Amino acid sequence: MVAGLLLGGFYAAVSLGVSVIFGLLDIANIAQPAFLLLGAYAAYLMNTSFALDPILTGILFTPLFYLLGAVVYRVYYESFERRGEESLRGLVFFFGLLFIIEVSLSLKFGVDYRLVQAGYIGKSIDLGGVGIAFRLLVPCLVGIGMTVALYLFLGRTFYGRAIMAVSQDRLALRLMGADPVHIKTIAFGVGIAAASLAGALLVTIAPVVPSTDRDYIGRMFATTVLGGMGSIPGTLAAGVILGMVESLMSTFFGPSWSLAVSFGILLIVLAVRPAGLFGR
């Protein structure tokens, strides 16, 4: 149970960016896992070069990834969305971006597995007879923190509310005098920054190679859909459900079944509630 909760917090962190970009903006950014890996490699680079804590690096680098996300969205907007060609061609654009980032990482860092060092990796704390690994506890806490921060940002700030508004009625937002493209640029930047920070959590938990992103495409989108498109608390709840199912299956019935059962639950939830757990 505890292991599942810890894993769930991490899954939520990984999926928050998708929730914003795919759930709220309705942009099928297939390249999102590649930004996850970019964040992971940034953490690795700072860890090996300056012995900087990977999660601290992740936090420090969020403004940089926010800007990167804003630039990517502007390119996407000018090339596809503005011309109304965002559906299929936009998807191809993000596929291309995914491969370019993956190959660039291969060329820069090589294809060896990369790990980071931190004082808490490999240590655990005993809570009532259950050993909790710091390697999982710290990313889980950061994941929950990210969820709360994003929830407050979207619900309490002007730009956050504007993002929620643009996801519901773009035209109405324009009539209110706000520029939907500007708002979407901010939202996209936030989504990419969240992915980069989640990447730092990923490299803390497990070693990465440039092709690790492929393992997370399914999980990221499944968590977002299960939680309800664009729902931030839903993403956390879905992450915890998937994490707990995976963990309980691994412990009691055999790990081979864990992914199949997780995705089975996704199918059942979608059959009963097509909008997802917290979807409207």
Partner 1 sequence: MIQAWARPMTWVLVTLVTVTLALAGTGVFPARAADPIKIGFGMALTGGLSANGKPALLAVQIWKDDINKKGGLLGRPVELVFYDDQTNPATVPQIYTKLLEVDKVDLIISGYGTNLIAPLLPIAMERKLTLMGMFGLANNEKYQYPNYFQIQPAGPEPQISTAIGFFELAAKQNPKPQTVAIVGADAEYPQNALVGARELIKKFGFKTVYDKTYPPSTTDYTPIVRAIKATNPEIVFIASYPPDSVGMLRAAQEVGLEPKIMGGGMVGLMFTTFMTSLGSLLNGIVNYDFWAPEPAFLAMPGIKEFLKEYQARADKAGVDPLGYYLPPYSYALMQVLGQAVEATKGLDQQKIADYIRKTEFATIVGRVKFGKNGEWATGRTLMVQYQKISGNSIDQFRGPGKKVVLYPDEFKSGDLIYPYAAAKK
- For residue 164, count CB atoms less than 10 angstroms from its CB and return exposed for 0-12, middle for 13-18, buried for 19 or more: middle
* Structure tokens given for 182: 């500007």
Please name the residues in contact with 57: beta carbons below 8 A apart, sequence gap of 6 or more. Answer: 42, 43, 46, 47, 200
> Among residues 179 and 215, whose Cβ is nearest to partner 1?
215
Closest distance of CB 62 from partner 1, Å: 22
- Residue 277 and residue 241: Cα distance in Å, rounded? 11
Task: State which residue, 129 or 177, has the beta carbon closest to partner 1.
Answer: 129
The CB-of-158 to partner 1 minimum distance in angstroms stands at: 37
We find the least distance from the C-beta atom of residue 29 to partner 1, in angstroms, to be 21
Q: Which is nearer to partner 1, 70 or 200 (CB)?
A: 200
CB of 251 to partner 1, least distance (A): 4
Shortest Å, Cβ 258 to partner 1: 7
Contacts of residue 153, Cβ cutoff 8 Å, sequence gap at least 6: 159, 160, 190
- Choose between 254 and 274: whose C-beta lies nearer to partner 1: 254
Nearest residue (CB) to partner 1, 131 versus 155: 131
Helix 232-248, helix 213-227: angle, nearest 10: 120
10 vs 76 by CB, closer to partner 1: 10
Q: Count CA within 13 A, CB hemisphere, residue 91.
A: 4
**Cβ closer to partner 1: 10 or 188?**
10
How many whole angstroms separate alpha carbon 170 and alpha carbon 81? 13
User: 26 by DSSP, 3-state: which?
Assistant: coil
The residue (of 115 and 141) whose beta carbon lies closer to partner 1 is 115
Report the interface residues with partner 1, using CB under 8 A.
Answer: 3-4, 6-7, 10, 103, 106-107, 109-115, 117, 121-124, 131, 133, 135-136, 205-207, 209, 211-212, 215, 243, 246-248, 250-252, 254-256, 258-259
Q: How far is the CB of 225 from partner 1 (least distance, A)?
A: 18
- Give start and end residues of each alpha helix (H) in the chain: 2-18, 32-50, 54-79, 88-109, 134-156, 158-168, 170-175, 180-205, 213-227, 232-248, 258-272
* Minimal distance, residue 72 CB to partner 1, in Å: 23
Q: CB of residue 33 vs partner 1: minimum separation in angstroms?
A: 12
The gap between the terminal CA atoms of the chain, to the nearest Å, is 29
Cα distance between residue 206 and residue 191, in whole Å = 22
